[in-house]
Amino acid sequence: MANLLWGKVYFKDIFAGYLREEPGDRITFTYDESYISAKHHAIAHTLPVSEVPHISNNGLHPFFDNLVSEGWLEHAQSRLLGKREVKRFELLLAFGFDCAGAVSVIDPEPSNLTKAMLDIDDPKEMAVLTSRSSLSGVQPKLTVIAENGVFRPARIDELSTHIAKFPSANHPNIIENEYLTTKAFKALLPGDDVVELKISTVEGLDESALLIKRFDRSDGERIHFEEFNQLLGYRSKAKYDGSHKNMADFIIQTDSCLPTQSYLLYRRILAGLLLGNTDIHFKNFAMIHSPQGLRFTPSYDQVAASLYQYKTVALSIAGSSELRIGNLKPANIIKLGEDFGLSKAAINMAVNGINKNIDAAKQAISEAEFGSSKLKNNLITLMEKRWNGTFALIGKTLLKKQ
């Protein structure tokens, strides 16, 4: 019989318990007695501190499943393990040191990594060989460290300070797109918190990257946060299976959340849709476990995905699934706000607030240091079209309803 996998789980570098594979497809997480007696924080909203093991009968518990890499990085790590197909638990054990958030998973008997199946001519793939990080998303990316004004790939057992996203052959100008869209998003919601980013080079690599400062790291310490996929108990592949209302319901029904966070979420969704970000799913929204309770992280992953082939809004919106962004109507936006428990006055205030900052968003795009004139013009045209075709009519529609 094959050896069963197991690993040690740490929360902010404190030993929290054991993650074990059992016969069948069952995996258990058990808090250690020392962690329980010290009254430390639960490692996840869905994994409260308990002497009773948390059991998942179908692979990794959703919280841990969402810590595993996706896309390009997942494939590179699988090849590094010398396999074309590996269990998600194996990937988590091998690369779980520098995960998103405060939790790490360490293999007490680490696998011998090999570069035999990596593309040795690809410096990004070779950088994977020297790291122990896990990142979600399909785009090529690595964890890096800012050091003396230079960015370099993070090495084994180093906590990264930034995430580097690289160009994609399937999505032209993707890093410039995210850079410009994020700048415009910040201008639309000037009082909101948005990730810090820049375009620069990474030491040893031959192409520029989008460098995003990690909000879950501070002076070498891990910050505890969870994506909504984790908060809602959904596995990684289920990030598109639901509606925006699921997040609002969680906020309203969870004691550690403020009701006003629903309004913040609503504004973020509106700004994203206005900018053509159709690919905002449950892993693109997250909350920090602060001393005051669950609060939203800075906004991240703002990309005008509709400039590519992604014309359908990722999550169900106001009861409409598979809604093409070109068919987005004022009624959809209003119903979404009502689903969030917002009054008509609050809905109107959110839309008017964005309207006041549209010129600032256009200016942020036009004056940005990076991005071609064609890409900038496409983004501005897309935003104007969405505003004139949908958002500008919301006020009139609200008046008619009244």
pLDDT in tens, 33-88: 999 999 999 999 999 999 999 999 989 999 999 999 988 888 888 888 876 678 89
Contact 77, 140 (CB under 8 A): no
Same domain, 165 and 243: no
Domain annotation covers residue 192: no
pLDDT tens digit sequence for 248-292: 999 999 999 999 999 999 999 999 999 999 999 999 999 999 999
- Which CATH number fits the domain that encloses residue 288? 1.10.1070.20
Single residue among 170, 201, 228 that ends a domain in this structure: 170
Domain annotation covers residue 289: yes
Express as a percent the part of the chain with pLDDT over 90.
77
Q: What is the model's pLDDT at position 49?
A: 98
Same domain, 17 and 163: yes
Domain annotation covers residue 199: no
Domain annotation covers residue 59: yes
Over 60: is that where the pLDDT of 115 sits? no
Over 70: is that where the pLDDT of 128 sits? no
Contact 304, 275 (CB under 8 A): yes
Same domain, 148 and 271: no
**Lowest pLDDT segment from 141-155, 182-196, 295-309:** 141-155
Instruction: Please tell me the distance from the alpha carbon of residue 193 to that of residue 296, in angstroms, as a whole number.
Output: 9
Domain annotation covers residue 140: yes
Structure tokens given for 304: 């005008």
Instruction: Please tell me the distance from the alpha carbon of residue 132 to that of residue 152, in angstroms, as a whole number.
Output: 14
Q: What is the model's pLDDT at position 81?
A: 80
Domain annotation covers residue 147: yes
Instruction: Please tell me the distance from the alpha carbon of residue 47 to that of residue 257, in angstroms, as a whole number.
Output: 17
Domain annotation covers residue 284: yes
Over 70: is that where the pLDDT of 129 sits? no
Sign of the CA dihedral 223, 228, 233, 234? Answer: negative
Could you tell me the pLDDT band of residue 397, with boundaries at 50, 70 and 90?
Answer: confident
Nearest of 244, 228, 248, 309 to residue 276 by alpha carbon: 309
Instruction: Please tell me the distance from the alpha carbon of residue 280 to that of residue 386, in angstroms, as a whole number.
Output: 17
Contact 156, 148 (CB under 8 A): no
Structure tokens given for 29: 């997480």
Same domain, 134 and 250: no
Sign of the CA dihedral 193, 199, 203, 205? Answer: positive
Domain annotation covers residue 118: yes
Same domain, 161 and 285: no
Same domain, 270 and 147: no
Q: What is the model's pLDDT at position 181?
A: 98
Domain count, the chain: 2
pLDDT tens digit sequence for 332-374: 999 999 999 999 999 999 999 999 999 999 999 999 999 999 9
Tokens 């201008």 found at: 187
Helix (H) or strand (E) holding 349: helix 344-356
Q: Which domain holds residue 84?
A: 6-170
Single residue among 170, 190, 214 that ends a domain in this structure: 170
Single residue among 122, 145, 170 that ends a domain in this structure: 170
- 279: DSSP letter: T
Same domain, 376 and 289: yes
Helix (H) or strand (E) holding 83: none
Same domain, 24 and 133: yes
Same domain, 137 and 256: no
User: Which whole number is the average pLDDT over 85-98?
Assistant: 90
Q: What is the model's pLDDT at position 114?
A: 56
User: Which whole number is the average pLDDT over 130-143?
Assistant: 80
Helix (H) or strand (E) holding 84: none
Same domain, 247 and 366: yes
Could you tell me the pLDDT band of residue 120, with boundaries at 50, 70 and 90?
Answer: very low
Angle subtended by helix axes 260-274 and 330-339, to nearest 10: 160
Could you tell me the pLDDT band of residue 123, with boundaries at 50, 70 and 90?
Answer: low
Q: What is the model's pLDDT at position 402?
A: 60
Q: What is the model's pLDDT at position 341?
A: 95
- 40: DSSP letter: P
**Lowest pLDDT segment from 116-120, 148-152, 367-371:** 116-120
3 state DSSP class of 203: coil
Could you tell me the pLDDT band of residue 105, with boundaries at 50, 70 and 90?
Answer: very high
